[in-house]
């Protein structure tokens, strides 16, 4: 077995410690740099639409809301709206995005329907398709009421 000299020993020790310190620093730094990329883009959350008791039964009410969306390292303020309908069994929140090609629907108070201006899609107040090309009902948000406030889950 070959003996190593004191100078070689300290050289190896310095290299070993340098490698260990580099590894210890690289792991959290790599995690910090990669975490936004590995996180699902636009993971949503609950957004408050205000007091739940302000929604009277009868017709959907358009409500504006905004939230901050994270995509990688970018944060963007997103502004949207939803239609809230009070039914006997609780509040329902509809996305205004037409399920045909994504135009925004509007509420027609005279006909008591949602209308899509792009290709004539018509939905009833429950979001079900009545006419036109939309293949499925309006998307409903998950909802919850906490401390008297209505929340919808955004994507
Ligand atoms: S996008 Fe609404 S009917 Fe085509």
DSSP 124-148: -TTS-EEESS--SPPPEEPEEEETT
Q: Which of 106, 121, 129, 137 best tests ligand 1's pocket when mutated (most atoms within 8 Å of CB)?
A: 121
In sequence order, which ranges of the chain are alpha helices (DSSP H)?
6-38
Q: Is 118 in the pocket of ligand 1 (CB under 6 A)?
A: yes
Do residues 32 and 100 both lie within one domain?
Answer: no
> For 57-82, what is the mean pLDDT?
89
pLDDT(63) > 50 = yes
Residue with CA nearest ligand 1 atom 1: 101
Percent of the chain with pLDDT over 70: 92
pLDDT(60) > 50 = yes
pTM: 0.71
Q: Which of 21-35, 81-95, 135-149 has the lowest mean pLDDT?
A: 21-35
Which residue in 141, 129, 63 sits closest to 100, CA to CA? 129
Question: In angstroms, what is the span from residue 122 Cα to ligand 1's centroid?
Answer: 9
CA distance 72 to 130: 40
pLDDT reported for residue 31: 73
> For 133-152, what is the mean pLDDT?
96
Sign of the alpha-carbon torsion through 146, 150, 153, 154: negative
CB atoms within 10 A of CB 71: 14
| Residue range(s) defining the domain that contains residue 23 | 1-38
Do residues 99 and 32 both lie within one domain?
Answer: no
Do residues 32 and 52 both lie within one domain?
Answer: no
pLDDT reported for residue 58: 82
Q: Is 127 in the pocket of ligand 1 (CB under 6 A)?
A: no
Question: In angstroms, what is the span from residue 87 Cα to ligand 1's centroid?
Answer: 26
Which residue in 106, 97, 89 sits closest to 136, CA to CA? 97
Do residues 34 and 99 both lie within one domain?
Answer: no
Q: Which of 4-8, 64-68, 91-95 has the lowest mean pLDDT?
A: 4-8
Do residues 93 and 19 both lie within one domain?
Answer: no
Q: Is 125 in the pocket of ligand 1 (CB under 6 A)?
A: no
């Amino acid at each position: 077995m070959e003996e190593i000299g004191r100078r070689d020993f300290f050289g190896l020790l310095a290299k070993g410690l340098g490698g260990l310190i580099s590894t210890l620093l690289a792991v959290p730094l790599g995690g910090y740099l990669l975490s936004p990329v590995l996180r699902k883009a636009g993971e949503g959350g609950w957004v408050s639409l205000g007091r739940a008791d302000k929604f009277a039964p009868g017709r959907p009410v358009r409500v504006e809301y905004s939230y901050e969306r994270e995509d990688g390292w970018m944060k963007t303020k997103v502004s949207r709206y939803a239609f809230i309908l009070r039914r006997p069994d609780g509040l329902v929140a509809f996305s205004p995005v037409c399920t045909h090609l994504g135009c925004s629907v509007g509420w027609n108070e005279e006909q008591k329907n949602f209308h899509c201006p792009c290709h004539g899609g018509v939905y009833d107040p429950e979001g079900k398709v009545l006419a036109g090309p939309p293949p499925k009902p309006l998307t409903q948000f998950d909802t919850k009421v906490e401390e008297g406030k209505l929340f919808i889950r955004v994507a």
